Amino acid sequence: MAAALFGSVLLLAPGRAATILWTDVPQKLEQVVYSVVTYDGAALQSTFATEHSDTIYLLADVDSFVSVRKAFVYYWPLTREWKIDSDTLNEQLTGSLVISGGQHRVLLPVDYTYRSTTSRYGISWESYTDEQARQETSEYQDASDALARAVVAYTNTENRLNAERGRLIEAIRSLVRAGKTAEAQRLVTQYNSLVEPVAPVQLGYEVRPLQKAFGVNLPQGTYSMHLRDWSGGTLEGSEKQLVVFSPLSAGVIGYDIIPGDRWTRPQESSSVMDALYVSGTSDLYLRPFEETELNDLDYSRMVDNQSLGSPRLFRWVRTRQVQSSVLHLRAEGAGSRPAEAASIVIEQPYFVHQVPGSSLGYQIVPFNQSQPDQQGHDPSLVAFHLPSGSGRLRFYLSRPDGTPYPGSEREVRVLRQDRHGNGLFLLALLPLLGLGVPLLRRLKSGRT
Amino acid sequence: MSSSAAPIGERAQRSAPLRLRAVRVLARRRLLEHLLTPATWVLATFGLVLAFLIVEGFVRSVDSSGFDFSLHPPYEIIYGIIGSAFGVTYVRQLFGDGPFAFASLVAFAPVLLYLCLTSIQRFGQERRSGVVDLVAAGPADVPAYLFSFGAADTLVVVAYLALTGLFLAISGIVWNLAFGLTLVAYLLELLFFAASLLGLALFLVSLVRQPASAVALFLMVAAALAFAEVLSFAMVGGGPGSGAIVASWVLRWLSPFYYLDAARMAARSEQTLQFFSALLGQAVLCAAFLTGAYLTARSRGTQ
CA–CA dist B293, B289 (Å, integer): 6
Instruction: Please indicate whether residue B138 or residue A226 has the higher confidence score (pLDDT).
Output: A226
Residues paired with residue A396 on neighbouring β-strands, in sequence order: A328
Q: Is A308 on the interface with B (CB under 8 A)?
A: yes
Provide the greatest CA pair distance for chain A. 131
Please indicate if any CB of chain A lies within 8 Å of the CB of B162: no
Helix axis angle for B211-232 and B100-129, nearest 10°, is 150
Q: What's the mean pLDDT in B64-92?
A: 86
Q: Determine how many CB atoms are found less than 10 A away from the CB of residue A116.
A: 16
A174 to A163, A165, A179, A184: CA distances (angstroms):
17, 14, 9, 9
The vertex-B257 CA angle with B224 and B187, nearest 5°, equals 145
Give the span between the Cα atoms of B43 and A428, in whole angstroms. 11
For chain B, positions 7-26, list CB contacts with chain A under 8 A. none
Query: Which H/E stretch holds residue A403?
Result: none
Q: Does residue B82 surpass a pLDDT of 70?
A: yes
B227 to chain A, any CB pair closer than 8 A? The answer is: no
Rg (CA), chain B: 21
Q: How many CA atoms lie less than 13 Å away from A11 in the CB half-sphere?
A: 6
Q: Does residue B268 sit at the A interface (CB-CB below 8 Å)?
A: yes
Picking from A12-26, A117-131, A383-397, A412-426, which range would have the lowest pLDDT averaged per residue?
Answer: A12-26
Rounded Cα–Cα distance for residues B178 and B96 (Å): 11
**What is the structure's pLDDT at B11?**
46
Residues 6+ apart with CB under 8 A from A29: A72, A73, A74
Mean of all residue pLDDT scores within chain B? 84
Give residue limits of the domains in chain B: 14-300
The predicted pLDDT at position A341 comes to 65
Strands A284-295 and A348-354: unpaired
Average pLDDT over residues B49-77: 90
ipTM of the complex: 0.81
pLDDT band for position B211 (cuts 50, 70, 90):
confident
Q: Is the pLDDT of residue B1 over 60?
A: no
Comparing A317-331, A336-350, B218-232, B279-293, the range with the smallest average pLDDT is: A336-350
In chain A, whose CA is at the least distance from the CA of B51? A428
- Assign residue A41 a region (left: φ > 0; alpha: ψ between -120 and 50; beta: otherwise): left
Of B38, B41, B176, the CB nearest to A416: B176
Interface test with A, best of B42, B56, B65 (most A CBs within 10 A): B65
Question: Average pLDDT in the B57-64 region?
Answer: 90
Whether A308 has a pLDDT exceeding 80, the answer reads yes
Q: Write down the pLDDT at residue B7.
A: 46
* Cα A40 from chain centroid (whole Å): 10
Instruction: Return the amino acid letter for A272.
Output: V
Which residues of chain B does A419 touch, with a Cβ-Cβ cutoff of 8 Å? 174-175
Q: How far is B206 from chain A (nearest CA, A)?
A: 30
Amino acid at site A430: L
pLDDT > 90: percent of chain B: 38
For B151-199, write each residue's pLDDT tens digit: 899 999 999 999 999 999 999 999 999 887 888 898 999 999 999 999 9
Q: How many residues does chain A have?
A: 448
To the nearest whole Å, the CA of A406 is away from the closest chain B CA by 13
Kindly tell me if the per-residue pLDDT of B113 is higher than 60. Answer: yes
Q: State which H helix or E strand residue A2 sits in.
A: helix A2-22
Helix, strand, or coil (residue A53): coil
Contact between B58 and B67 under an 8 Å Cβ cutoff? The reply is: yes
- pLDDT confidence bin for B280, thresholds 50/70/90: very high
Greatest alpha-carbon span in chain B: 71
A409: left (phi over 0), alpha (psi -120 to 50) or beta: beta
Q: Are B169 and B187 in contact (CB under 8 A)?
A: no
**Could you tell me the residue ranges of all domains in chain A?**
24-130+207-245, 148-206, 249-422
Residue B96's pLDDT band (cuts 50, 70, 90): confident
Cα gap A331→B181, rounded to integer Å? 21
Which residues, numbered 51 to 70 in chain B, qualify as contacts with chain A under a Cβ-Cβ cut-off of 8 Å?
A: 51-52, 55-56, 58-60, 62-67
Average pLDDT of every residue of chain A: 85
Q: Is B234 on the interface with A (CB under 8 A)?
A: yes
Whether residue B65 and residue A267 make contact (CB cut-off 8 A), yes or no, is yes
Q: Given an 8 Å threshold on Cβ–Cβ distance, is B176 in contact with A391?
A: yes
Alpha helices in B95-180 (DSSP H): 100-129, 131-137, 142-175
Which of B49, B58, B63, B184 to mutate: most A Cβ within 10 Å? B63
The residues near B249 (Cβ < 8 Å, ≥ 6 apart) are B232
pLDDT at residue B83 is higher than 90: no
Question: Closest to B176 (Cβ–Cβ): which among A293, A415, A438?
Answer: A415
Q: Is the CB of A431 less than 8 angstroms away from the CB of B89?
A: no
Q: Distance from B149 to chain A by nearest Cα, in Å? A: 21
Task: Give the orientation angle of helix B181-207 with respect to helix B142-175, to 10 degrees.
Answer: 150
Distance CA B184, CA B263 (A): 12
Tens of pLDDT, residues A57-103: 999 999 999 999 999 999 888 888 888 888 888 888 889 999 998 78
Q: What is the pLDDT of residues A123-144, one digit of tens each?
A: 888 899 999 999 999 999 999 9
